[in-house]
Structure 1
Amino acid sequence: MEQTAVLDVDGTLVDTNYHHAIAWYRAFRKHGRTLPLWRLHRAIGMGGDKLVPAVAGIDFERAFGDDVRSAWETEFDALIDEVRPFDGTQRLLETLEERGYRIVFATSGNPKHVDHFLTLLDASTYPHTTSDDVDDTKPAPDLLQVALDKVGATSGVTLGDSVWDFHAAARLGLRSVGLLTGGTAESELTAAGAEAVYPSVIELVADLDTSPFGRG
């Protein structure tokens, strides 16, 4: 029976989380708010619609949310050429396909950023989501559901780097694997629902047989 791998992109396959935190920091500063980078980093993985009120409050969201998101896009555009894939990502995709997995990327990223990342991963032909596909982003499960729908699946194994990935997966009853690549502690990922956690993509590939991807 064919299985589905539902893969996050930002912070999981490409090294972006700290770039995102810097971009958000600069965007908020443009609108009169200086937020600590550690707090912004802990919110990375949420969609921008959730991140702004989560770190700055609902009143700030109502007054400046769209403007801050626009400023974040401009700031991140200036950093995007520094982004690189994590070592082992190509081998992970190849190995999953060899094992009969359908691969779909579930990300709430800006469409032009997602296109850039998939080009870096040599993965532009795979089905994927973007922020344009849903009104409610992670930790809501909508993006994962859209990703499953794109490949005609009802279940799968997810891969992510933030607690928001696993909160979303749990709401759909999906098994999940975590990576430390986004900068979140193993204990937090496990508490959020990750069934197994690996330090890197390379170490996941090396242990794929005993991971949820190997056990199905």
Structure 2
Amino acid sequence: MDRAALFDVDGTLADTNHLHGVCWWEALRQAGHDVSVHAIHRATGLPGEDLLAHLLGDGRDTGEDDVLSTAHDTLYGTFFDRLPRIEAADELLRTLDRRGWRVVLVTSAGSEELGR
């Protein structure tokens, strides 16, 4: 029997959830939106457009979405050299591979982020 394990890189193998939250908070703050970090953390994992709809509401100016997403991405990019991995994640992946599992990494991260 073939077995496979799927792992999301961003937030599962790399400890990025807090950084995403802080970067979304700062991007929103710079654009004049007062959104709590707690609300952002609860929405972390949603795609950018869905996250903004959740935090700012469906009646928001969606024309601002690209600016907010770009600001988040720019802020988040300053952390690429310091993205922490989840401790022992590499050993888990190697163990599964040695036991004959097909290990598949999935992500919505861009190629630059994934490369880091």
Whether the TM-score (by the shorter chain) exceeds 0.5 is yes
Take 1:46 and 1:101, find their aligned partners in 2: how far apart are those partners? 28
Superposed displacement of residue 61, structure 1: 5.3
TM-score of the two chains, using structure 1 as the length reference? 0.51
2:35 matched to which residue of 1?
35
Per-residue CA deviation, residues 118-146 of structure 1 (Å, 9 max, x unaligned), is: xxxxxxxxxxxxxxxxxxxxxxxxxxxxx
Superposed displacement of residue 93, structure 1: 0.7
The alignment status of 1:65 with 2:103, answered yes or no, reads no
1:14 matched to which residue of 2?
14
Structure 2 gap ranges (5+): none
Matched position secondary structure for 1:6 = strand
Q: CA RMSD in A?
A: 1.4
Matched position secondary structure for 1:58 = coil
Take 2:106 and 2:84, find their aligned partners in 1: how far apart are those partners? 19
Identity %: 32
Superposed displacement of residue 39, structure 1: 0.6
Take 1:93 and 1:8, find their aligned partners in 2: how far apart are those partners? 12
Letter in 1 for 2:112: K
Matched position secondary structure for 1:5 = strand
Give the number of equivalent residue pairs: 116
Take 1:53 and 1:61, find their aligned partners in 2: how far apart are those partners? 10
Letter in 2 for 1:29: R
Structure 1 stretches of 4+ with a deviation exceeding 3 A read none
Per-residue CA deviation, residues 83-115 of structure 1 (Å, 9 max, x unaligned), is: 111110111111111121111112222332122
Matched position secondary structure for 1:32 = coil
Superposed displacement of residue 81, structure 1: 2.2
Take 1:64 and 1:112, find their aligned partners in 2: how far apart are those partners? 24
Superposed displacement of residue 26, structure 1: 0.8
Is the 1:8–1:107 Cα contact (8 Å) retained in structure 2? yes
